[in-house]
Each structure stands twice: as C-alpha cells, then as structure tokens.
C-alpha cells in the first residue's frame, strides 16, 4: 500500500506492477506516483527477456482516471437499460443485493440466479471466483459452459490428446524453421507477453513465416514471407487438402503415425475420397477456400519437409460454425508431420488455457469456488470429456444461450426460469452473440447487479452498480503462462472515489448473507500463501522486486515425455495414443461432430442462399486499441485506431463507398452505422468489424457505437465453439 506521507510528499516514486489485462499478456508497468496520483506509466527496459507492455498498458493512467469510472454505488432510477442512476451508500447497495439474492432464492429457488462472469483484469485473488464461491455457498446458481475464446480448440485438444494442455512456452518458437501463423495475429493480440519478441528472433534465425488469414494483419506485415488469404470458415478444407498432398506424395511421417496415433487410416480414407467418393484434392479445396490449388500444395510440401515446423493454430478460425473441426484437422496435420512433442514443433492452439499448472512450474493455493451444489448429481453433457470437470455438467447452459434461456426458461428446456443476474468482470450484453436479443432479454429479469469499473453497456442494465477498482488500487498476483513468471500487482494508489476491490466486496457481501466459512485470511495472507506454494522463492523479495522470472532448463514442449518414453508414457486418451479417430466421438453420434476431422460447411457461408441478400462474410477480430471492451474510452488510443468496418477496395467500389464514409452494416439481427476503412488488407467478400466497441443504439435501434455483436447469431457449434466469425451482412452507403 502506498500513501503519500510527510516523507514522500512532493516526491515522485516509481513502482513496478504487472499489467494483467484481458489480452492475456502479463507485461511489466513502471508506475510513477506523486502525492498519491499516477503521473506516468513506463515499461520494462532492463534485462532480457523484458516484459514490454504495449500501448494499451502504457496508457493505463488514462484508464484509472477515466471520467467514465463508477465513483460510488448506485441504484437505477430510470427504465432498465436507460442508464439513469442515483448515488447510494455501500451499505444500502449491499443490503439490496443480499436482500434480492435471498428473495429470489426463497421465492423461485437458487437456480433462478444467473452468474455471468468474465476474465476482466483479474489476478490470482481478485477475480470472479470470489462471487462464484459466494453463490455456491449461498445455495447455488445457474452457471454456463463454453469459453468464448477457444471452446472448439479445447474440445479438439481433449478429443485428440486427452488433455487440454498441449502448449509450448513462447521461447520454443526459436527452434522452429517454419512458422505458420494460421488465423493468428499476435502483434495485436499478444496473448502471452513477449510473443512478438520471440517471433522477431525466430525470423532473425532464418525461420520462414507464412500467414493464412483473410486479413493482411500487422503480424503478417511484420513477420511473414507469404500471405495466404482464405475465405473465413473454410480452413478445415484447406488443411484436409494439405493432408491429401502429403498422403499422395508420401510426405507424411509414417513412423510417427504408427507409433503415437490411432485412426490415421480412417482419416486417410476420408481425405482420399474412399469414404464419400470425393477426393479432397487441392482443386476441391480451391473451390471452397479461394486459395489456389498450387498454393495449398506448396504449403503442404513445406510443412511436411521443413523440420521442425510450427503450425500455430490460431483460435479465431475455431470461433466459427464447426470450428472444432478446424482444430481437429490442424492436430491431424501436426501428427502427420511429426511436429508434436518436439522442439520447434507445435501441437495445437496458439494459446493454451492458462489453467494454473498448465506449464511446468508450480503455483500456490488460491481462494476459489468450491462447486455449485445445483450441479451435484447432474450427468455430464453428451458432448463432453471427463477432463472438462465441472464445465461438462449438463446443468450448465452454453454461454451464447443466456438470452434465450432468460426468454424461454423451463418451457424452452432450460433448468429454471431466470429472475436475477449477478454480473462480474464481463460486458455481457456487448460481448456475447446477438446483442439486441440480449438487451431485450435483460429487461425481463427482476434484478441485475453489476460489479464494474466503468459505465459500460452492461452496467447501464444494472439495478445496482457496485464500483470496483483497477489493478492500480489493489494488491494481487499475475501468473505468466507461456512466458513463465510471477508478477506482483501492487496497489500503487488508494482506490479512487468509493470504489472497492473485488476481495473487499465479496467479503462484505458474504457477511451480509451470513455465509459461514467464506474466508479467514487477509489479502496479504492469501498472496503470501500463493507464493509459498509456488516456484517463486521468497514473498517479501518478490513483493519488493515486483517480478519473478521462472527459469526453466529449456523451453517447455507438451508431450515430450510421451515421445521420450515410447509405450511407457501413454497419451491420456482412451487408446493411450493421439486419437485422429475418436471412438468417444463416434459414440456421441452427434450430427456434424464426426469421429475424424472433416470439413463441414458452415451456416451463413458464402454458399448459403442467404448470401444473395447478405453477400459479405463478417469476421470480428480482436481490437488493437482495446482488450475487448476495455480501454475503449481512452483518448490516446481512440486517436490511434479509429473503429471502422474494414472493406476491400473492390467491394467498396461496387457500393460507391469511399474510405471514411459512414456506412450501414446490417442483417436480419441488427444494424449499425460505422465508418468504412477501405483497404487491400482484407480479401474481397469479407468485412471485419473489430469486436468490443460499445453498444450504443439510437432511437431506431441502430447501433452507433460499433458493437459488432448486433450482427452475430447466438448459435453454438455442436462442440460448443463460439461462432463469432460466422455470419453474413450487407454494407451500404448512407
């Protein structure tokens, strides 16, 4: 804790902390504080590997002092969603929340309580789990399953490897001779601190880099030797055709396949057309993907012969209808080329779930939930694997289905009729599919409490607003993941206005609800305990330095042990091998969820009859100037990257659209008014609206804020992929 005392008055002090934003990077911030006010934010300029923050992190001061910050608890006075509030005290706010939780539980049962949660800027202590723990001990709640980020990737990883941990630390990219950035733009999305730094060095060491993406991304511009534009949602077809080339040219690694996999023959039969009479040739794929057959052939040859090679399967192509097939196919190719369990290879997704313990260094105990009593005894969902744990529970609803569940309740087959939502760390209405439908559904609830930092689109729907503070105003710890480290997130200033930390809010609310055994430790005791059980040596020293870099003897690569101990260390699948054919998937008998990876044509694809009315495919990339909806209001960042719809020059000309024009983007679900960015950096037939701009409908319901989810459809893929990159729209000049 840092207070301006007589001794420090007028002096500038510099504190090291960790940015822990919803991009995934845990970069270092040096925060200058004078008289209790942040004056400047710098980043790492010390020993390599540095943990350099991007411009978002370095603009954090504007976020702390954002005029949109929630200053004190408030209650709604206008219509729900209108955004009219009145100041109340913390006591009144928490009494109201506790009272409503009790009323709804007693009147309708605990299942009527929806728990809507997101990643936000959380650390090991100050996070959503605190409220999950509270609601669990209170009697239960309705939770969801399906991570918006990469549910299809998780599913494919579990089906193929039997574990969801298939990642490598970022430094292992230095061992790759070829890096395929497949729907991956880490210059913008970071995900793990230092990704760009390792890619830079990999280039310097001579690695070839190829980007497969409908957009010519910043990463492609910076690193790639070749850009291969591809029609969104068709990646599986291209991967399958690459398998065709490898098989017919005998480039695949038969020893690897024989030793470590099952089901290759089944996949081969499909690829060669033995199963359905359609050989999946590069020519076949060209018709689907828009990628010339020769380009597909060349990439297949390179991926099969340049060793080792990392096909980094970005998670955005997985956020499509049937996106799980893309991840399954990418894993099949990694196996066919023997790039699993070896340095410089890559086994799966671009981003591994941080799930503490996912990398080979120890982390300590956290204050977390202890389960939801309402899930006890509920059988697992049919389309799930045991390793998914609680999120496999059939009691849960899919994250895209909350609005539908509120509107239909039990009569729609959902577990309950929903009455109350506790919203923490998510801008749900803005970030989940079909925003207009969500906004309509939220109006039906009896009570909504939102715990937030700023007046977001979601906050406007609250009945009670609980203001929570930023990372600068509380203590916490960040865990690195693919760049192994621990960062102390130091409280550098007192909480602004009447905002409180998540930890404080949860403790107070537990007290109001009379929950016994909620928590018996202070903030510092929890953080100390966490470090005690981890690889970081000493808490006091860690706190002082602000950062501990975990030194691994070599870059970490998943499944190295399986390769080194042939037959003795099985993969944790039913067969003990990598399952290119999964018996478990076969037994699920779910339509469009085949036991081998297969190309399944998406709904709202280019070939859908709906494309006559809405001829452009919409993708929704992750924004450079924001982490989702966060940082949106910061003047510096707004100036840097205006929110716009990216449209190809050819498509713009055909519509009489010039760069900077205000255009209408619409489909049957919604409409927005947004500026056009006319560019060759997106392929024809595709438009991109970066997700996360704030929902701001006018009186006609036309969104003026650029919130792309007014256009997306709330239908999950069979394995739970969040299909935010599948959808058709039209663009017109006003």
Please report, as ranges, the residues that interact with ligand MGD according to CB under 6 A. Answer: 22-24, 118-122, 126, 148-149, 182-185, 188-191, 212-215, 217, 230, 232-233, 235, 314-317, 319-320, 350, 424-428, 431, 451-454, 456, 468, 502, 619-624, 626-630, 691-692, 708-709, 712, 724-725
Least distance to ligand MGD, CB of residue 149, Å = 3
393 interacts with, out of Mo ion, ligand MGD, none, CB within 5 to 8 A per kind: none
The token duo for 441 is 């559904």
Q: Are 113 and 107 in contact (CB under 8 A)?
A: no
Query: Smallest gap, in angstroms, from Cβ of residue 109 to ligand MGD?
Result: 26
From Mo ion, ligand MGD, none, interface partner of 451 (C-beta below 5 to 8 A by class):
ligand MGD
Nearer to ligand MGD, 24 or 341 (CB): 24
Q: Indicate which of Mo ion, ligand MGD, none lies near residue 280 (CB less than 5 to 8 Å, by partner kind).
A: none
Identity of the residue, 323 or 364, whose beta carbon is nearer to ligand MGD in the bound complex: 323
Stretch that binds Mo ion, among 146-154, 173-181, 201-209, 672-680 (CB under 5 A): 146-154
Neighbours of 643 (CB within 10 A): 21
- Helix (H/G/I), strand (E/B), else coil: 641: coil
For the CB of residue 319, give the shortest distance to Mo ion in the complex, in Å: 9
Q: Which is nearer to ligand MGD, 430 or 562 (CB)?
A: 430
Among 149, 175, 620, 725, binds Mo ion (CB under 5 A): 149
Q: Where does this chain touch Mo ion (CB under 5 A) — which range of 142-150, 189-197, 413-421, 464-472?
A: 142-150
By C-beta, is 399 or 578 nearer to ligand MGD?
Answer: 399
Give the interface size with Mo ion as a residue count (CB under 5 A). Answer: 1
> Which residues does 324 contact at the CB level (< 8 Å), separation at least 6?
151, 152, 153, 155, 156, 318, 593, 717, 718, 719, 720, 721
Helix (H) or strand (E) holding 59: none
Both structure tokens of 20: 């822990």
CB of 238 to Mo ion, least distance (A): 24
The residue among 27 and 111 lying less far from ligand MGD, judged by its C-beta, is 27
Nearest Cα to 593, choosing from 321, 347, 396, 352? 321
Residue 191's binding partner among Mo ion, ligand MGD, none (Cβ under 5 to 8 angstroms by kind) is: ligand MGD
How many whole angstroms separate alpha carbon 614 and alpha carbon 666? 8
Stretch that binds Mo ion, among 72-80, 141-149, 167-175, 262-270 (CB under 5 A): 141-149
Residue 661 contacts which entry, Mo ion, ligand MGD, none (Cβ below 5-8 A, type-dependent): none
Closer residue to ligand MGD in complex, CB, 166/350: 350
Minimum distance between the CB of residue 160 and ligand MGD, rounded to whole angstroms?
19
Nearer residue to Mo ion within complex by CB, 81 or 146: 146
Q: Is the peptide bond before 549 cis (omega within 30 degrees of 0)?
A: no
Residue number of the CB closest to ligand MGD reads 118
Shortest approach of Mo ion to residue 426 CB, angstroms?
11
224 binds, among Mo ion, ligand MGD, none (CB under 5 to 8 A by kind): none
Q: Return d(Cα 146, Cα 443) in angstroms, integer.
A: 24
Specify the residue for token string 């969820």: 593
- Minimum CB–partner distance for residue 91 and ligand MGD (Å): 19
Which of residues 149 and 436 has its CB atom nearest to Mo ion in the complex? 149
468 binds, among ligand MGD, Mo ion, none (CB under 5 to 8 A by kind): ligand MGD
Shortest spacing between CB 34 and ligand MGD, in angstroms: 25
Angle at 585 between CA 584 and CA 586, to 5 degrees: 90
Number of CB atoms found within 10 A of residue 205's CB? 12
How far apart are CB 333 and ligand MGD at their closest, in Å? 14
Q: What SS3 state is found at 187?
A: helix
Binder of residue 573, out of Mo ion, ligand MGD, none (CB less than 5 to 8 A by kind) = none
Q: Is 140 left (phi over 0), alpha (psi -120 to 50) or beta?
A: left
Residue nearest to Mo ion (CB): 149
Smallest separation, CB 62 to ligand MGD (Å)? 14
729 closest CA partner among 571, 626, 615, 559: 615
Helices (H), 337-455: 402-408, 428-431, 435-442
Angle at 272 between CA 269 and CA 278, to 5 degrees: 105
Q: Specify whether the CB–CB gap between 459 and 658 falls below 8 A.
A: no
Which is closer to ligand MGD, CB of 26 or CB of 577? Answer: 26
Q: Smaller CB distance to ligand MGD: residue 68 or 394?
A: 68
Phi/psi at 484 (nearest 5 deg)?
A: -65, 120
Q: How far is the CB of 134 from Mo ion (least distance, A)?
A: 24
Least distance in angstroms from the C-beta of 148 to Mo ion: 5
Q: Which entry of Mo ion, ligand MGD, none binds 619, CB below 5 to 8 A by partner kind?
A: ligand MGD
CB 166 within 8 A of CB 334: no
Residues 199-228 close enough to bind Mo ion by CB under 5 A? none
Angstrom distance (rounded) from CA 301 to CA 291: 15
x-marked contacts with Mo ion along 322-341 as a string, rule CB under 5 A: --------------------
* Residues sharing a CB contact under 8 Å with residue 380, sequence separation 6 or more, in sequence order: 386, 388, 392, 393, 394
Minimal distance in Å, beta carbon 54 to Mo ion? 17
Using CB under 5 A, which of the segments 145-153, 230-238, 421-429, 604-612 binds Mo ion? 145-153
Rounded Cα distance between 619 and 217, Å, is 13
Question: Contact, 349 vs 327, CB < 8 A?
Answer: yes
Nearer to ligand MGD, 110 or 727 (CB): 727
Q: Closer to ligand MGD by CB, 116 or 374: give it.
A: 116
Q: How far is the CB of 480 from Mo ion (least distance, A)?
A: 17
DSSP code per residue over 113-166: EEEEE--TT--SSSSTHHHHHHHHHHT--B-EE--TTTHHHHHHHHHHHSSS--
Q: CB-hemisphere CA count at 13 Å for 404?
A: 17
Listed residue (185, 136, 647) closest to 395, CA to CA: 136
Look at residues 243, 259, 368, 359 and name the one whose alpha carbon lies nearest to residue 311.
243
What residues line the site for Mo ion (CB under 5 A)?
149
């Amino acid at each position: 804790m840092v207070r301006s005392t007589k001794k420090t008055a007028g002096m500038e002090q510099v504190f090291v902390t960790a940015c822990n934003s919803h991009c995934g990077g845990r970069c270092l911030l040096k925060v200058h504080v004078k008289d209790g006010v942040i004056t400047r934010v710098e980043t790492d300029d010390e020993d390599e590997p540095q943990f350099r923050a991007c411009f978002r992190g370095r603009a954090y001061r504007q976020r702390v002092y954002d005029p949109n910050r929630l200053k004190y608890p408030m209650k709604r006075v206008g219509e729900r969603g209108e955004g009219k509030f009145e100041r109340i005290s913390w006591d009144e706010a928490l009494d109201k929340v506790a009272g409503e939780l009790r009323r709804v539980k007693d009147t309708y049962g605990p299942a009527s309580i929806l728990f809507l949660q997101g990643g936000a800027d959380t650390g090991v202590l100050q996070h959503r789990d605190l409220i999950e723990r509270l609601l669990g001990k209170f009697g239960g709640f309705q939770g969801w399953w399906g991570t918006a980020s990469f549910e299809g990737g998780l599913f494919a990883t579990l089906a193929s490897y039997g574990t969801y941990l298939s990642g490598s630390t970022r430094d292992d990219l230095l061992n790759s001779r070829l890096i395929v950035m497949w729907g991956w733009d880490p210059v913008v999305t970071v995900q793990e601190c230092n990704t760009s730094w390792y890619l830079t060095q990999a280039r310097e060491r001579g690695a070839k880099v190829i980007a497969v993406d409908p957009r010519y991304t910043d990463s492609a511009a910076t690193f790639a030797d070749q850009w291969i534009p591809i029609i969104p949602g068709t990646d599986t077809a291209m991967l399958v055709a690459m398998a065709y080339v490898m098989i017919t040219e005998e480039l695949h690694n038969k020893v690897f396949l024989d030793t470590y996999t099952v089901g290759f023959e089944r996949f081969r039969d499909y690829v060669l057309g033995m199963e359905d009479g359609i050989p999946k040739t590069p020519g076949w794929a060209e018709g689907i993907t828009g990628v010339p057959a020769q380009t597909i052939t060349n990439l297949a040859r390179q991926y099969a012969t340049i060793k080792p090679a990392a096909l980094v399967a970005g998670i955005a192509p997985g956020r499509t209808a049937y996106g799980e097939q893309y991840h399954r196919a990418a894993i099949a190719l990694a196996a066919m080329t023997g790039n699993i369990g070896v340095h410089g290879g890559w086994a799966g997704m671009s981003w591994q779930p941080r799930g503490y313990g996912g990398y080979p260094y120890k982390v300590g105990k956290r204050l977390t939930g202890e389960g939801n009593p309402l899930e006890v005894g509920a059988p697992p969902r049919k389309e799930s694997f045991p390793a998914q744990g609680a999120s496999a529970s059939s009691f849960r609803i899919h994250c895209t289905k909350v609005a539908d569940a509120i509107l239909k309740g039990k009569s729609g087959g959902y577990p309950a009729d929903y009455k109350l939502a506790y919203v923490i760390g998510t801008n749900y209405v803005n970030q989940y599919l079909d925003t207009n439908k969500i906004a309509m559904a939220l109006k039906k609830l009896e009570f909504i409490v939102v715990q937030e930092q700023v007046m977001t689109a979601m906050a406007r729907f609250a009945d009670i607003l609980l203001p929570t503070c930023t990372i600068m105003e509380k203590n916490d710890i960040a865990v690195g993941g693919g760049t192994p480290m621990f960062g102390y997130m130091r409280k550098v200033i007192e909480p602004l206005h009447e905002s409180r930390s998540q930890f404080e809010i949860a403790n107070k609310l537990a007290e109001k609800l009379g929950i016994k055994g909620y928590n018996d430790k202070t903030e510092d005791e929890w953080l100390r305990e966490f470090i005690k059980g981890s690889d970081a040596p000493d808490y006091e020293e860690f706190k002082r330095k602000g950062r501990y870099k975990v030194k691994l003897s070599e870059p970490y690569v998943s499944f190295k042990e399986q390769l080194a101990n042939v037959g003795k260390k099985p993969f944790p699948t039913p067969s003990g091998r990598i399952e290119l054919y999964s018996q478990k998937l076969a037994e699920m008998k779910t339509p469009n969820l085949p036991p081998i990876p297969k190309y399944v044509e998406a709904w709202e694809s280019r070939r859908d009859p709906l494309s006559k009315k809405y001829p452009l495919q919409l993708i929704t990339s992750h924004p450079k100037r924001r982490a989702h909806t966060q940082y949106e209001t910061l003047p510096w960042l707004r100036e840097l990257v205006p929110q716009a719809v990216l449209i190809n020059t050819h498509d713009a000309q055909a519509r009489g659209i010039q760069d900077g024009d205000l255009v209408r983007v619409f489909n049957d679900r919604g409409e927005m008014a947004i500026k056009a960015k006319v560019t060759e950096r997106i392929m024809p037939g595709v438009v991109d609206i970066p997700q996360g701009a704030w929902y701001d409908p006018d009186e006609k319901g036309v969104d003026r804020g650029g919130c792309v989810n007014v256009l997306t459809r709330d239908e999950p893929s069979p394995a739970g992929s969040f299909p935010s990159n599948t959808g058709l729209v039209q663009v017109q000049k006003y």
